[in-house]
DNA sequence: ATGGTAGAAGATCTA
């Protein structure tokens, strides 16, 4: 079963890309970030007419996540537990199919500028994500955390790591929080399958970053032990970054034997 | 040191 995460950077602006990409790539399950739309305004038919169940968690203007699936989605929950006052739409969970597999789609806060309140929010959000991962691990059923983590885990995950030293995506505290997730026993699927440097999922729109391959790897799949046992493959699909009116991110895939 | 781009909302913020 092919599952994919894709930060689409605005569902309305990206509809032509989404249509072409769904028709060509044919994912079984896709997780979107930055839909930048309220649920009522999401172009549902673009997704549903292609045979997907669609679950959205949007807000006005910014953020917003969604899950699309050809298998039934059940037990859908919206919002990351741990802070009732958090109104940002950055998290959605659902069971996919009937195997007990649970999928967590996330759009982790950017955190810039750091230090500052936005960075404090990012770190607090990562603590809540770790707590959620601990709860899911205790269930002993397979699950995956996937989405735009806004974390560059290692220097090998950036073309120019020195340019990111002071950035919220690469600060030591950010990387340590990501590492704590891995130390719970979660597996970075793309890193597992591609141990070398030079695998990127984001290229800035500015300064010809894509043409110069000045990228970073910030969109990830973290698999529970049971899900990692079922990992067939993991890869980044670079081509949609070069289409007309692209997102600044590109799809990141896993193939799981679920 | 600066500015370069994009999306959504709406004349600015976020990334």
Report the candidate in A199, A207, A213, A217 with the shortest Cα–Cα distance to residue A242.
A213
d(CA A219, C1' B2) / Å: 29
Is any atom of strand B within 7 angstroms of residue A134's beta carbon? Answer: no
- Strand B nucleotides, any atom under 7 Å to a protein CB: 3-9, 14-15
CATH of the domain at A163: 3.60.10.10
For residue A52, indicate whether it is catalytic. no
SS3 state of residue A105: strand
> Is A107 in the active site?
yes
pLDDT score, position A138: 98
Number of compact structural domains in chain A: 1
Q: What are phi and psi of A200, to 5 degrees?
A: -125, 155
Our measurement of CA A62 to C1' B10, in angstroms, reads 14
Half-sphere exposure of A30 (CA within 13 A, CB side): 24
Which DSSP string corresponds to A31-94?
EEE---S-GGGS-HHHHHTTT-EEEEE--SSS--EEEEESSPEEEEEES-TT-TT-----EEEE
Q: From residues 159-198 of A, list those within 7 angstroms of strand B by Cβ.
A: none
pLDDT for position A14: 97
How far apart are alpha carbons A12 and A41 in whole angstroms?
9
DSSP summary character for residue A202: E
Domain enclosing residue A155, as ranges: 2-256
Q: Residue A187 CA to nucleotide B3 C1', Å? A: 39
Residue A255: per-residue pLDDT: 98
Q: Identify the active-site residue in A95, A148, A188, A255.
A: A148
* Nucleic acid strand B within 7 Å of A45 CB: no
Per run of 10 residues, the mean pLDDT along chain A (length 258 residues) is: 98 97 98 96 96 97 97 98 95 97 98 94 98 97 98 97 96 98 98 96 95 97 98 98 96 97
Q: Is the CB of A90 under 7 A from strand B?
A: no
What is the nearest nucleotide to A169, using C1' and CA?
Answer: B15
């Amino acid at each position: 079963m092919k599952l994919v995460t894709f930060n689409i950077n605005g569902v309305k602006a990206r509809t032509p890309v989404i249509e072409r990409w769904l028709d060509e790539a044919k994912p079984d399950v896709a997780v979107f970030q930055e839909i930048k739309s309220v649920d009522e305004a999401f172009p549902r038919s673009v997704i549903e007419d292609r045979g997907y169940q669609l679950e959205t968690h949007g807000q006005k203007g910014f953020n917003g996540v969604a899950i699309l699936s050809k298998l039934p989605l059940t037990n859908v929950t919206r919002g990351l537990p741990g802070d009732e006052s958090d109104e940002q739409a950055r998290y959605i969970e659902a069971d996919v199919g009937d195997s007990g597999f649970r999928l967590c789609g996330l759009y982790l806060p950017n955190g810039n500028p750091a230090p500052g309140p936005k960075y404090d929010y990012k770190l607090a959000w990562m603590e809540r994500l770790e707590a959620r991962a601990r709860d899911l691990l205790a269930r002993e059923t397979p699950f995956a955390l996937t989405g735009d983590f806004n974390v560059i885990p290692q220097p090998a995950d950036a073309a120019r790591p020195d340019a990111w030293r002071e950035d919220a995506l690469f600060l030591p505290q950010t990387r340590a929080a990501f590492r704590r997730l891995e130390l719970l026993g979660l597996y970075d699927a793309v890193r597992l399958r591609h141990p070398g440097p030079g695998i990127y999922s984001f290229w800035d729109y500015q300064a010809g970053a894509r043409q110069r391959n000045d990228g970073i790897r910030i969109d990830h799949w973290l698999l529970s032990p049971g899900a990692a046992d079922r990992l067939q493959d993991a890869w980044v699909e670079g081509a949609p970054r070069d289409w007309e009116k692209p997102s600044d991110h590109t799809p990141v895939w896993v193939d799981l034997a679920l």
